[in-house]
Amino acid sequence: IPRFSAIDEVQTDTEALMTTIQFGIAHSLAKISPKPKRDLLLPDFLTADNIPFPHQGSESTPAHKYKHFSLKSYSPAAFRHLRDHFDIQPEDFIASVCYTPLKQLGNPGASGSVFYLTQDDKYIIKTVSFNEAFFLQKLLAGYWMNLVQNTQTLLPKFLGLYAYQSGSRKIRFVVMNNLLPSTIKYHYKFDLKGSTYGRRASMKEKRKTSPTFKDLDFIQMFPQGLSTTPEMYSKLINTLHRDCMVLESFDIMDYSLLLAVHNVSEEFRVNRSRFDLPMESHVIDTNTMNSNHPIHSDSIICEPDTPTETPLDNQNLTSYLDRIPEDGVVATLPNGDIAVVYVGIIDILQKYRAKKKIEHAMKSVITKGDTVSVHNPAFYSLRFKKFMSQDIFHPEETTNQQPKPNMR
Ligand code: ATP
Ligand code: CA
Ligand code: CA
């Protein structure tokens, strides 16, 4: 059980709340850890363990300075299995999530969810609604089937689902991987759905240090899309197809492809003197970046309001390359620049319901129905796949005689 140093510090309400939640998660993880491992059974997906934390402590929980609260851990055995599957060691997970203060991210979404990032940049904690939490538990067995069958999956890595309750206050949250670790700079970041209606970043968003652009911005910025090797292209599109099939089978929609671009050529131009390279060496040997690493799964979120640029001063080429997460897709930008692109499907807990049907009907009145992002799941998935395979990614033309980077 962790020592809770943060408990004595002066904290705001939210900080105190998060510290309490971390304290609760630590206990819940410590409780499941010693249990012998066994194969996952279907009922494991549907259980929940509610631990009360009385102020004065109990036989199994220590006394604490906060109000009486309880922490419900949903499907604890299933999530332990999932963390194992993702090669996350229990002691590392507890250290990342529970032992250092979390950083709150400035409102990245419109839903009102609050996002927290762990100090080490590895995990995101997102608050979710009752419906989303309920739905994730229902989805979990199907999600596990996809993980096992579709090993390249781009779906989020769900690592835990909890509910904190104190009096009438109830907060549900999910722990997942951070797709965009801040070891490198993301020159562009997009949240893409395949719809065009209103899908442009607001002026407020664009003024941020690391804005998240949308579909229409992408089309404007990269009208020819991003090209990858034909092998990488088919791998990526095939994975998207399989993931969309799962999402569609659960009537899920409104999800996005989070796509971040690290422009390697640009970094080389900016830092040429530091790398001690001649002018033309911006075409780098992608072998050194382990480019045969298929499609991802862990990468970064840039904190929307903080600079993510890591100056390359005093860094040599090797240390720069070492900092590039290996799970990106190597792509060529329309101007010939080489980039590493990080992709993942996010926000998959929205089920098509009556409210969405009404929203679609209303929006269709004022615009052409097909461009609206709220649609039925089959249509949503079809349009999403079409957009990603035609407008976002392209297979490189093999007949092109221009010198190509080595893609392995
Ligand atoms: P809405 O429902 O209004 O779209 P939301 O509150 O459900 O918003 P998300 O769509 O899940 O929020 O995420 C909002 C933003 O947060 C994304 O566009 C992305 O920039 C960032 N984000 C979400 N999940 C991750 C993740 N796993 N890794 C990195 N960044 C993420
Ligand atoms: Ca979203
Ligand atoms: Ca959402």
> Closest Cα to residue 302, out of 251, 345, 262?
262
What is the residue-wise DSSP string for 295-313?
S-S-EE---TTS------T
* Measured distance CA(102)–CA(169) in Å, rounded: 20
CA 339–ligand 1 middle distance (angstroms) = 23
Mean per-residue pLDDT, 186-212:
92
- Residue 302 CB–ligand 1 contact under 6 Å: no
CA 257–ligand 3 middle distance (angstroms) = 13
Quick count: other Cβ atoms within 10 Å of Cβ 14? 12
pLDDT of residue 45: 96
b/e sequence 238-266, b meaning 16+ C-beta within 10 Å = ebbebbbebbbebebbbbbbbbbbbbbbb
Strands 188-192 and 179-180, how do they pair? unpaired
* pLDDT tens-place string over residues 105-115: 877 677 889 99
Mean per-residue pLDDT, 368-376:
60
pLDDT of residue 305: 42
The DSSP H or E segment spanning 50 is: strand 48-53
pLDDT at 299 over 50: no
- Which of 176, 347, 349, when mutated, tests ligand 1's pocket best, judged by the most ligand atoms within 8 Å of its CB? 347
Q: Which CATH class is domain 188-395?
A: alpha beta
pLDDT at 295 over 60: no
- Residue 179 CB–ligand 1 contact under 6 Å: yes
pLDDT at 15 over 50: yes
Q: Is 209 in contact with 308 (CB distance < 8 Å)?
A: yes
* Measured distance CA(262)–CA(191) in Å, rounded: 15
* Measured distance CA(158)–CA(80) in Å, rounded: 11
pLDDT at 1 over 70: no
- Structure token digits, residue 93: 């997970």
pLDDT of residue 32: 87
- Residue 111 CB–ligand 1 contact under 6 Å: yes
CA 174–ligand 1 middle distance (angstroms) = 12
Q: Where are the domains of the chain?
A: 5-177, 188-395
- Residue 109 CB–ligand 1 contact under 6 Å: yes
pLDDT band at 5; cut points 50, 70, 90: very low
- Structure token digits, residue 59: 């036989």
In order of 67, 238, 314, 377, the CA distances from 150 in angstroms are: 44, 10, 41, 20
The rounded percent of the chain whose pLDDT value lies above 90 is: 60
- Residue 156 CB–ligand 1 contact under 6 Å: yes
End-to-end CA distance of the chain: 47
pLDDT at 309 over 70: no
Lowest pLDDT segment from 58-62, 225-229, 234-238: 58-62
pLDDT band at 188; cut points 50, 70, 90: very high
pLDDT band at 373; cut points 50, 70, 90: low
pLDDT of residue 289: 36
In order of 22, 29, 97, 165, 347, the CA distances from 64 in angstroms are: 13, 18, 19, 15, 34
Lowest pLDDT segment from 28-37, 102-111, 350-359, 399-408: 399-408
Atom of ligand 1 nearest to the CA of 350: 2
Between 9 and 241, name the one with better pLDDT.
241
pLDDT of residue 296: 37
ipTM rounded to 2 decimals: 0.99
Q: Is 389 in contact with 257 (CB distance < 8 Å)?
A: no
pLDDT at 357 over 90: no
- With H, G, I as helix, E, B as strand and everything else as coil, classify residue 186: coil
The rounded percent of the chain whose pLDDT value lies above 70 is: 78
- With H, G, I as helix, E, B as strand and everything else as coil, classify residue 123: strand
Mean pLDDT score of the chain: 83
pLDDT of residue 364: 66
pLDDT at 405 over 90: no
pLDDT at 408 over 50: no
* pLDDT tens-place string over residues 16-62: 888 999 999 999 999 888 888 899 999 999 999 999 999 898 988 88
- Please give the CATH architecture assigned to the domain spanning 5-177: 2-Layer Sandwich (3.30)
pLDDT at 304 over 60: no
* Measured distance CA(334)–CA(345) in Å, rounded: 24
Burial class (CB in 10 A: 0-12, 13-18, 19+), 364: middle
pLDDT of residue 306: 43
Q: Is the dihedral of CA 258, 263, 264, 268 positive or negative?
A: negative
pLDDT of residue 112: 85
Lowest pLDDT segment from 51-65, 140-154, 369-383: 369-383
pLDDT of residue 303: 39
25, amino acid identity:
I
- Which of 127, 346, 350, 353, when mutated, tests ligand 1's pocket best, judged by the most ligand atoms within 8 Å of its CB? 346
Backbone angles phi, psi at 229, to 5 degrees: -60, 150
Instruction: List the residue whose alpha carbon is closest to atom 8 of ligand 1.
Output: 109
Burial class (CB in 10 A: 0-12, 13-18, 19+), 138: middle
pLDDT at 4 over 80: no
pLDDT at 158 over 90: yes
